[in-house]
Amino acid sequence: MNDFFLSAAGIILFTVAVGLVRVLSGPTNADRIMATQLLGTGGITSLLLVASATGVRGVDDVALGLALLAAFAAIAFVDNVAAPDSDTSKGDRTE
User: pLDDT (tens digit, 0 to 9) for every residue of the chain, 95 residues total?
Assistant: 899 999 999 999 998 888 888 778 778 888 888 888 888 899 899 999 999 999 899 998 999 998 998 889 888 888 888 766 655 555 555 55
Q: pTM for this one?
A: 0.72
Per the structure, how many domains does the chain have? Answer: 1
**Burial track 83-95 (b if 16+ CB lie within 10 A, e otherwise):** eeeeeeeeeeeee
User: What is the span of the domain harbouring residue 19?
Assistant: 2-73
**Residue 58 domain flag:** yes
**Residue 88 domain flag:** no
**Residue 53 domain flag:** yes
